[in-house]
Amino acid sequence: MDKQLQFDLSYLQMAGIWAKNSYSKRLQVGALLVKDRMIISDGYNGTPSGFENVCEDENGVTKPYVLHAEANAITKVAKSNNSSEGATLYITASPCMECAKLIIQSGIRRVVYRDAYRLDDGIKLLQRAGITVEQLDSEKIKELEAERQASESK
């Protein structure tokens, strides 16, 4: 398997594990920011620091101040000494329009996602900004995983 594809697969799987940290009952999303083959940030959808770890109100509606996973990963870099310039974002669900704006402005050059969100306007905006966008869906991940295991057992 192509080395880059192997890394993409691993990082996306790690983003999937990271998503499990989310308290959201509706949809758990995980994001990793990778630069020069180093994870420089991570995020999952959730409320801002210091707020209750509950994403939905009593009617099951997502609270308006919940941050998406990619927004949390990007803002975490803003608080650090690192920079997201030229980084790759791995995310379990395709970014929405609001997050796509943040991705563009933070200098991220490549986005790899797993599940397609029902709206693709975020993806379209990223492409318009010249950002490389790639999808590795669950089927493809399974295929690659089987391929990897087969080559390891040889």
- Applying CB under 5 A, does 68 fall inside the site for Zn ion? yes
Can you read off the two tokens belonging to residue 68? 């998406």
Is 57 or 121 the residue whose CB approaches Zn ion more closely? 121
Element at 32 (helix H, strand E): strand 30-35
* Nearest distance from C-beta of residue 10 to Zn ion, angstroms: 24
Phi and psi, residue 27, nearest 5°: -155, 125
69-79 helix and 97-105 helix, angle to the nearest 10 degrees: 30
Q: Does 55 bind Zn ion (CB under 5 A)?
A: no
Can you tell me whether residue 30 is helix, strand or coil?
Answer: strand
Distance CA 54, CA 60 (A): 10
Between 92 and 144, CB nearer to Zn ion: 92
Query: Total residues contacting Zn ion (rule CB under 5 A)?
Result: 3
CB of 112 to Zn ion, least distance (A): 16
* Closest CB to Zn ion among residues 99, 144: 99
What is the C-alpha separation between 121 and 144, in angstroms, rounded?
28
Contacting range for Zn ion; rule: CB under 5 A; set: 15-23, 47-55, 61-69, 128-136: 61-69
Alpha carbons 57 and 25: distance in angstroms, whole number:
11
Active-site residue (options: 52, 56, 58, 70): 70
CB of 58 to Zn ion, least distance (A): 23
Using only C-alpha atoms, the chain has a radius of gyration, in whole angstroms, of 16
Q: Site for Zn ion (CB under 5 A): which residue of 96, 102, 103, 112? A: 96
Catalytic residue set: 70
Interacting residue ranges for Zn ion, rule: CB under 5 A = 68, 96, 99
